Structure 1
Amino acid sequence: MATMRDVAALAGVSAKTVSRVFNDDPHVRPETKERVDSALRELSYVPNTLATTFRSGRAPVIGVAVPDIADPFFGAIAKAIETLAAQHDMSVVITSLGDDGTREPRIVQSLLRQALSGLIIAPLSHDQSYLGSWTDRTPLVFVDRQPTGVLADSFTEDDHAGAHQATTHLVGHGHVRIGFVGDDASIPTTSGRLAGYRAALDEAGIEADDDLVALGAFDRASAAAACTALAGLADGPTALFSSNARATMSLVPLIRTGGLTVAGFGDFPMADMLTPAITVVDQDPAALGTLAAQRVLDRLAHPQRRYRRRTVLPVRLVERESCRSRAPRG
């Protein structure tokens, strides 16, 4: 197997120059780069990744920890990270945190002990202070949810504004009894969306009714139970705001038969093909993943540079049939 010294000898340059060419250093002269590239091809040179790891103390791997990789939203984030990582000859290792926040520290620290080049995480627990000892060693970037108890970069969506926009949209269709369906109000995304929902009602002069807030919708069964509880109210909702795509997907069978106007936070595959097609607050998980991966790469390349720690991405409402021509009952 050819070595970097073999390439350097054939090209008539130093091993350091070969390394600079291989890493796309823009300051290498074009004629030198051409000679080195020719030597690389002729010798079929493959970089010794293990040696690189030993020299830098890091594996050329970005870790990704999300609640559920099967969730289309987190799957899209992971795919975007993989795409950018591959462009920089890096690999990605992905783990699902599950739905038990107490397991997060053990899972994440086990991942970090693999000497990763960086970690991108969408946390579950309410406290990430356990990562404090890692911040000086490994670039940490949070997506979808901001960290608590540790200073780190984050890329999130405007949860409050998106929920406010969707709820205002439902009010604009004549609804005053609007239900909220979500998972856990202690999760930052859910709490932000619940606050946006309540703010929109307040601005419309509609008194918020806690009986219309149904939490615990984590899967189809619990979502169905949440909707059944709302439907059983003496003065039930005529419209629903679902606070995440997982809950909205779980509600699909009920949307088709229940006749409720529905808007959900987060698009998902086939949402526009359903009957009725679902009105959503559209996020951009690919942008979240790309930005997070780029921040890891930037911090590796320029560890002393100052960066904006918190970045909030805008969201937009996409109206579909689940909100059109559906007048309130009664």
Structure 2
Amino acid sequence: MTTMRDVAARARVSAKTVSRVFNDDPHVLPETRARVAEAMRELGYVPTSLSRSFRTGRPPVLGVAVPDLADPFFAVLAKAVEEVAARADMAVLVSSIGYDPALEAAALESLLRRSLSGLVVAPTSQDHGHLGVWAPRLPVVFVDRPPRGLAADAFTGDDCAGGRLATEHLIAHGHRHIAFVGDSPAMSTTAERLAGHRAALADAGLGSGDELVAFCAGDRGSADGVLHRLRSAGAPPTALVSGDARTTMSLVPALAGSTWAVVGFGDFPMAHMLSPALTVVDQDPAGLGRLAAERVVARLAAPDRRFRRHTVLPVRLLERRSCWSPADASTLFPSSSPEPGTGGSPHAAPSLAEEPHP
């Protein structure tokens, strides 16, 4: 294992100077700092955060950066990270970094400067090269979306398979015009889920044109606009795949009174309490968070292991009642009115609304 003394010898400085460089001592000359940093990169030196905590008397701290803790997916993920950290006697610092990719780098830099021992991050940006200066210093593990421009561990769900699974389920129920509504198409998760959706349509010999694909329905106003456009399509959909839980939660009130069948990507609280209960593709956020945190702990125990892995977890369909075959809909809901503009399509599904409280 590379030590601080090895770095000092390569950079032709003392071990104390290496320590001062790592701790951002402003009194180190720029040329000395550059030489030490180059030696760290060449030797793959990663200071042991656990050892530093013993010297300073402070416990190691695991940072968790997610777009929004109000999103049920990320809340469950962060909770799983906290449970693993507690077993490893690590403190946890959780931060919501928002959905604006342009602000992500600054938010992460602010978090990383708080003497973290490791970081679990669910990113939104498309370039993570700025983390290259931190990766040699502490374990950085990506979750939900893989890194771009950086070699790092990652744990993600099988997004393409999930998109395929959702659409195949609707096709099996007799639907032929199926819409897809997702987050930004620049998001790797959205792109992969849309690819799976289109692959399922193609395998069934169905069209997969852009007319029934929409994005950015993250609030009620934009959801209403997206649904209005889809209803105005030449062949309006009778079913819809929602690409993420945030989008689904915006679409649910906008779909009140609709006869479309729906499959959401990502489970969320109360999804089973809707009427009908919502069928979802479950990503297992608790499993993703647990594995990511365990990888940080493992990297801290063996900091000289340089090989990084991307692990893809399987997803599963939680079948509930929001997807109906034409026969089911006409038998169980004979009074359901057709969706405006569908011309009385036989592929009607029961109305999606909140289950009344007893």
Residue number in structure 1 paired with 2:198: 198
Give the gaps of 5 or more residues in structure 2: 1-49, 331-343, 347-358
Q: Secondary structure at the match of 2:53?
A: helix
Pairing of 1:1-330 with structure 2 (within 5 A) = 53=53, 55=55, 60-305=60-305, 309-324=309-324, 325-326=328-329, 329-330=345-346
Q: Secondary structure at the match of 2:240?
A: strand
What is the letter of the counterpart of residue 268 of structure 2? F
CA positional deviation for 1:326: 3.9
What is the letter of the counterpart of residue 232 of structure 2? G
What is the letter of the counterpart of residue 130 of structure 2? Y
Deviations 1:235-283 (A, max 9, x none): 2100000000111111112333111000011111011111011010011
Q: Secondary structure at the match of 2:257?
A: helix
Are the counterparts in 1 of residues 68 and 74 from structure 2 also a CA contact under 8 Å? yes
Alignment RMSD, CA only? 2.1
Give the gaps of 5 or more residues in structure 1: 1-49
Q: Secondary structure at the match of 2:312?
A: strand
CA positional deviation for 1:319: 1.2
State the distance in 2 between where 1:58 and 1:102 align. 33
Give the direction of change, closer, same or farther, for the CA distance of 1:216–1:101 in structure 2 (3 Å limit): same
Give the direction of change, closer, same or farther, for the CA distance of 1:181–1:107 in structure 2 (3 Å limit): same
State the distance in 2 between where 1:309 and 1:326 align. 46
More displaced 10-residue stretch of structure 1: 286-295 or 58-67: 58-67
Are the counterparts in 2 of residues 156 and 313 from structure 1 also a CA contact under 8 Å? yes
State the distance in 2 between where 1:320 and 1:87 align. 35
TM-score by length of 2: 0.75
Identity %: 56
Are the counterparts in 1 of residues 217 and 223 from structure 2 also a CA contact under 8 Å? yes
Give the direction of change, closer, same or farther, for the CA distance of 1:208–1:58 in structure 2 (3 Å limit): farther
What is the letter of the counterpart of residue 221 of structure 2? A
Give the direction of change, closer, same or farther, for the CA distance of 1:51–1:298 in structure 2 (3 Å limit): closer
Are the counterparts in 2 of residues 219 and 250 from structure 1 also a CA contact under 8 Å? yes
Give the direction of change, closer, same or farther, for the CA distance of 1:217–1:287 in structure 2 (3 Å limit): same
TM-score by length of 1: 0.81
Deviations 1:128-177 (A, max 9, x none): 00001111101000000000000000000000001101101111111111
What is the letter of the counterpart of residue 169 of structure 1? H
CA positional deviation for 1:113: 1.1
Q: Secondary structure at the match of 1:256?
A: coil
Give the direction of change, closer, same or farther, for the CA distance of 1:106–1:306 in structure 2 (3 Å limit): closer
Q: Secondary structure at the match of 1:107?
A: helix
> Segments of 4+ in structure 1 off by > 6 A?
none
CA positional deviation for 1:234: 3.2
Residue number in structure 2 paired with 1:33: none
State the distance in 2 between where 1:326 and 1:181 align. 23
Give the direction of change, closer, same or farther, for the CA distance of 1:57–1:105 in structure 2 (3 Å limit): farther
Give the direction of change, closer, same or farther, for the CA distance of 1:52–1:306 in structure 2 (3 Å limit): closer
Q: Secondary structure at the match of 1:257?
A: coil
What is the letter of the counterpart of residue 200 of structure 1? A
What is the letter of the counterpart of residue 297 of structure 1? V
